[in-house]
Amino acid sequence: MKSPTRNIPELRPGAATPKRRLEEILRVDHAGELGAVRIYDGQLAVLGNSPSADTVRHMSDQEVRHKALLDELLNERGARPSLLDPLWSAAGFALGAATALLGKEAAMACTVAVEEVIGGHYGAQAKELAATEPALAATLSQLRSEELEHLETGLTEGAENAPAYPLMRGIIKAGCRFAIKIAEKL
**Could you give the percent of the chain with pLDDT greater than 90?**
45
- The string of DSSP letters for the chain reads ---TTTTS--PPTTPPPHHHHHHHHHHHHHHHHHHHHHHHHHHHHHHTTSTTHHHHHHHHHHHHHHHHHHHHHHHHHTPPPPTTHHHHHHHHHHHHHHHHHT-HHHHHHHHHHHHHHHHHHHHHHHHHHTTT-HHHHHHHHHHHHHHHHHHHHHHHTTGGGSTTHHHHHHHHHHHHHHHHHHHHH-
Looking at per-residue pLDDT, the higher value among 18 and 38 belongs to 38
> What confidence score (pLDDT) does residue 12 get?
39
- Average pLDDT of the residues in 45-64: 90
Q: Kindly list the structural domains of the chain, giving each domain's residue range(s) and its CATH number in brackets, ordered by start.
A: 18-185 (1.20.1260)
- Average pLDDT of the residues in 163-178: 92
